[in-house]
Amino acid sequence: MSGDDGKQIQLDATSLRGIAHPLRVRILGMLREYGPSTATRLAERLGQSTGATSYHLRQLAQYGFVVEEGGRGAGRERWWRAAHQRTIFSTESVAGQADAETDVYLRSVAAAYAERVDRWISERPSLPPEWSGASTLSDWSLRLTPAEARQLLDQLGALVSRQRQEPAAGGDAPEGARRVVVQLQLMPFVATPDEVPE
């Protein structure tokens, strides 16, 4: 199910089956971050075979995550682009319907997030000095009710949504602007250390 004028896709039990694979999550992320590509180019960047990326691109297309980008390339070369700018996942939307796929998807996303953080750490020394105070790896431990956690999540989402989104191809951004990724995890745990019986 899509929303926000095609800018995002809300996962349900059916679409989750189409994305619940580590390579598919990585392919979709690359198309969103770097723009349209071919199976061959993606294979080179991801260290995979062209056959693997081609197969997973077709699966992503079948479930509506990617679309073919016409008018590019020569001969039989097929270009693909992401159909949406972001994926929205809520455990409520798939509760009890796709538990195995949910685990695979969440672990794949977590691995992609960890890979992105590692890349940022590697690139950080090359950033201009003015960016040194404009990034963070922080966490806060809070004690919230489900209603308070939902309210916090909604407020953070609204705050991020008010910022300048990634401009479309050919769009303008102010001088000095760089791509900034906000990764948001709000994770309730079953028990905290002080609640675990001895």
Q: Is residue 179 part of a domain?
A: no
User: What domain count does the chain have?
Assistant: 1
Q: How far is CA 90 from CA 33, 94, 107, 121, in A?
A: 22, 7, 15, 29
Q: Is residue 67 part of a domain?
A: yes
Domain of 83, CATH number, reads: 1.10.10.10
- Contact status, residue 105 vs residue 25, Cβ threshold 8 Å: yes
* Distance from C-alpha of 102 to C-alpha of 90, rounded to nearest angstrom: 10
Q: Is residue 53 part of a domain?
A: yes
How much is the pTM?
0.80
Q: What is the pLDDT of residues 172-192, one digit of tens each?
A: 778 888 888 888 888 888 876
Q: What is the pLDDT of residues 14-62, one digit of tens each?
A: 999 999 999 999 999 999 989 999 999 999 999 999 999 999 999 999 9
Q: Which residue has the tokens 């349900």?
A: 12
The alpha-carbon radius of gyration of the chain (Å, integer) is: 19
Q: Which residues contact 100 (CB under 8 A, 6 or more apart)?
A: 20
What confidence category does residue 169 fall into, taking pLDDT thresholds of 50, 70 and 90? very low
DSSP 8-state secondary structure symbol assigned to residue 93? G
- The boundaries of the domain holding residue 93 are 2-115
- Residue 73 region by backbone torsions, left for phi larger than 0, else alpha for psi between -120 and 50, else beta: left
Q: Is residue 58 part of a domain?
A: yes
Q: Is residue 18 part of a domain?
A: yes
